[in-house]
Amino acid sequence: MKCFIYLIMLILTSLLSSCASYPRLISLPFDPGGQSLNSPAAELTPQISGRYIAFSSDRRGTQDIYLFDLETKNLIDLPGLNSLDAIATYPSVDADGRHIVFAASRQGRTAIYIYDRETRQSRSLTAALLAEVRNPTISADGSRIAFESNAGGHWDILVYNQNGELLNR
Amino acid sequence: MINRFWLQRMIHWSLYLCLALLVACSPGDTNRLSSSLHSLYSEEQPALSGNGHDLAFVSNRNGNQQLLLYNFPQAKFIPLPGLNRPHNIVENPSLSYTGRYITYLTSDYGRPVIAMYDRATKQSQILTPIYTSWLRNPRISPDGRYVVFETAKSGQWDIEVLDRGPEIELDLPNGVSVDSSAP
């Protein structure tokens, strides 16, 4: 009888522990040479959309934007995005991985840029905005871009479309 | 006889006392929201839902730091009952595709934890109850299954991905077929 109770307890425990396996952490690649997601340098402000993780890292001496593909477990090349004279922060990618929005500081001025992986070009969304800007984010469908601006003496949230038109005045 | 009256009076008084205590403890009008997206206070850390319809952010407009959710098509704030609690701060909001899942950073007895609010059940749960390192900047995937965040476990900021599992209800746009293969 005692054996029987122990058996039931064992089965119950194993059942319960198998149910509790989620949420769990995914094992992610680490590369000391900086060719993968994590490296000995800092990886900052990751954002996930579909199969892509966008993040910034200072692994090559300047803080740059990187894009990681969760399906192939590889970094995706972003030609023309990063430059040596700019510090890029807060990347955000849409679900099909085509557009990356980020903040970059160049020559003392920070602007919000949108990078198109097909044309391989970045475009400033805030060239006409005389204010400090930060914390950009793009929706997964790519339709809207939101960021903070301090034009009013405090941080306000502005929402733009991809053409740089303000939607929430 | 006198004793009975005395007891009745005591019950009356204790009732009044209880009522006064209850009134004093009930929080003020915390759902008072101005209908405008902009206020005279700082609004920070914007997060868009995957379809672009909802905007979550952190605001000081009601006298304490709150996570607010604004819906563009309806042009109004969506109430989030049970998310903002007194004597606690929430930060770094992020939204899934239709804004059903909201992840954010908060503290559990002073320890930073990632929590997730489900607008369908109107309840929050802590996603990292036993995580032992410092963490920050959580972001949920549009389908709601994965949460990426920064971890300090290697001595510098690294990226960690939390998988909520194949059993959750995914937050997908209408008409999308469900592909069960995990990355």
How do residues A102-142 score in pLDDT, each as one tens digit? Answer: 999 988 899 999 999 999 999 999 988 999 999 999 999 99
pLDDT at B138: 98
Residue B60 lies inside a defined structural domain of this protein: yes
Q: What is the CATH number of the domain that holds B142?
A: 2.120.10.30
In terms of residue numbers, what domain contains B94? 43-163
Contact B49/A at CB under 8 A = yes
Of A25, A145, A148, the CB nearest to B162: A25
| Per-chain mean pLDDT for chain B | 85
Domain ranges of chain A: 29-160
Residue B96 lies inside a defined structural domain of this protein: yes
pLDDT at A82: 93
A25, B160: Cβ pair inside 8 Å? yes
pLDDT at B31: 42
pLDDT at A65 over 80: yes
Supply the DSSP string of chain A, one letter for each residue: -HHHHHHHHHHHHHHHHHHTT-SEEEP--B-TTS-SSB-SS-EEEEEEETTEEEEEE-TTSS-EEEEEETTTTEEEP-TTT--TTEEEEEEEE-TTS-EEEEEEEETTEEEEEEEETTTTEEEES-TT--S-EEEEEE-TTSS-EEEEE-TTSS-EEEEE-TTS-BS--
pLDDT at B44 over 90: yes
In chain A, the percentage of residues whose pLDDT exceeds 70 is 91
In chain A, the percentage of residues whose pLDDT exceeds 90 is 71
Residue B28 lies inside a defined structural domain of this protein: no
Of A43, A138, A154, the CB nearest to B159: A43
| Per-chain mean pLDDT for chain A | 90
Q: Say which CATH topology domain A29-160 has.
A: Neuraminidase (2.120.10)
pLDDT at B30 over 90: no
Number of domains in chain B: 1
